[in-house]
Structure 1
Amino acid sequence: MKVISFDLDGTIADSSFADAFWEEEVPALYARKNQLSIDEAWRIVKRSYEEVGSEDIRWYQPEYWFNLFDLDEDVTEVLRRVKDRVNLFSDALEVIEALYQKYDLIIISNAPREFIEIELEGIEDYFSASFSCTSDFGVVKKSGDAYLRVCSKIGVAPGDVLHLGDNPIFDYEVPRSIGMRALLIDRTNDHGGSGLKDMREILRMEPFSKDLKVKR
C-alpha cells in the first residue's frame, strides 16, 4: 500500500459540527430573517431538507440553501461560528499520527469543501490531498467512479490504496468493488460487529504492526 484514504464525518470526526450548522445555525438565521420562533423555523427548514432529499446534490450545498432561504450571511463565516463543535475521535488522531510516518494520507468525503477545510484545521498537514465528492465531482455518494478519479488524480492504482470509513456500502463495498482495499470503522456496533470498534486495531495488523512506532 502507498496511500491510506480516510472518510471524514463518522470516521475522523463525529457529526456535531455538521449538525450544529444544518440544525441550529440555518434555522436560527431563517427565524431572524422571517421573525419566527426557532421551533417554527426548524419545522420549515427541516421540511425543505426532506423535500429535496439526500439523493439530490443540492441537499449537500450550503449556498443552495442560503439562496433558497434568502439568507444574507456568508456561509464560511457561519461555519466558523460553530467551529468549536468539531469533535475529532481520539483513536483516529492516534492512527493518523502513526500512519503519517510511513504512508501518504488523503481524505475522501461526501462533505462539502467548506466543511472539510474547517474540520481538518489543526491536522491538515497530515494529509497530502482532500477530495469532496459533492464539491469536486458533483456526485452525492462515493461511487466507484469517484474513487477511480481520486486514484487517477494522485497517480496510484486502486490496489495501492486502503480506505477507512464508517459506511458499509460507500466506504467498504464500493471501494473494494474497484480493487481498493477497505476497512469498516464501526465504533457503535451498528453493523453486527463486522467492523473495527476502535481504529487503533489497525496498528496491530500487518504490515502496520511491523514498521510503525505509535506515540503514546
Structure 2
Amino acid sequence: MEPKIVSFDLDGTLVKLDLIDRFWFEEVPKLYSKYHDMKLDDAVEFVRKSYGEVGPEEIGWYLPQYWFDEFGFEEDPEEVLEGVSHEVEVFQDARDVLEELQGVYELIVVSNASREFLKAQLEEIKGYFSKTYSCVSDLERVKKDVGVYREVCEEIGIDPKDMVHVGDDQEFDYNVPRHIGIRSFLIDRDGDCSNDGGVLRDLRELLDKI
C-alpha cells in the first residue's frame, strides 16, 4: 500500500552529527571555561561528567536551555547554535530523496533533537516538510517510543499503516514504529547491519521501496 506520509529522523539520517558535536563538546565547554575561569580542557572534562550524571533518561539532558541554566550561562542557546550553524551538513542522498519525494508524499520529521536543534539543522531544507516534531520539546518524551509515533499519527489524522518512517536507530526508528503498523526503514550507510530488506545503504534506495 502506498503511504500518505513519509517521516524522517534527523541526526544521522538527514544531516551529519557535526553541529551536535560542536555545540555540546566545544561551545558549551568554552562558555563554562569563560564563566568559571577554568582551563578549557578542565571545562570539557567537567561538562562531559555533568552530562553523564544527568543521563539520557532525563528530558533535561537533551535541552540546551536546561544546561545553560544549570551552568549559569546568560547567552541564548539559539544564538549560540546560529553562530555555529555553518557546521550543518545535509547528506547528499538525503537531498536527492527529498527532491524526488517532494510533492508526491507529505514529508515530516520526527526527531529526538530539541526544537532549537531542529530549527538550526533544518534551515536549509525546511521547505520540504509540512510538520516537524521534537520528542523532547513538543511531546515531552526522551525516546521515540510507541506513544510518540501514535501521537504523531493521531495529530496528523492518519492510520499508522499509511506512514513510512526512516531513521538510523535500529530500535527507535526501525523496530518501534513497526509495533503499531508503520512501515519503517533503517538507514545504515556504514553497512554495520545485515540487510533484511528494510535496511538502506543509501537513502536513494527508499525510492524503489515505497
**Interval of TM-score (by shorter of Structure 1 and Structure 2):** over 0.9
Is 1:117 the counterpart of 2:122 in the alignment? no
Q: How does 1:1-216 map to 2 (within 5 A)?
A: 1-194=3-196, 195-205=199-209, 207=210
TM-score computed with the length of structure 2 as normaliser: 0.96
Q: Which runs of 5+ in 1 are unaligned?
A: 208-216
Shift of 1:6: 0.2
Q: Runs in 1 of length 4+ with deviation above 3 angstroms?
A: none
Q: Percent identity?
A: 48
Q: Distance in 1 between matches of 2:4 and 2:195?
A: 28
Q: Which runs of 5+ in 2 are unaligned?
A: none
Shift of 1:55: 1.3
Partner of 1:211: none
2:190 is paired with a residue of what secondary structure? coil
CA contact (8 A) 1:186 1:193 kept: no
Partner of 1:214: none
Q: Distance in 1 between matches of 2:83 and 2:200?
A: 33
Shift of 1:58: 1.0
Shift of 1:101: 2.9
User: Could you say what the CA RMSD is over the residues aligned between the two structures, in angstroms?
Assistant: 1.0
1:122 is paired with a residue of what secondary structure? coil
Q: Which moved more, 1:108-117 or 1:118-127?
A: 118-127
Q: Distance in 1 between matches of 2:92 and 2:59?
A: 31
Q: Distance in 1 between matches of 2:66 and 2:104?
A: 40
- After superposition, the C-alpha distances for 1:168-205 in whole angstroms (9 at most, x for unaligned) are 10001100001111011000122234521111111233
Q: Distance in 2 between matches of 1:116 and 1:185?
A: 19
2:201 is paired with a residue of what secondary structure? coil
Q: Distance in 1 between matches of 2:76 and 2:194?
A: 42
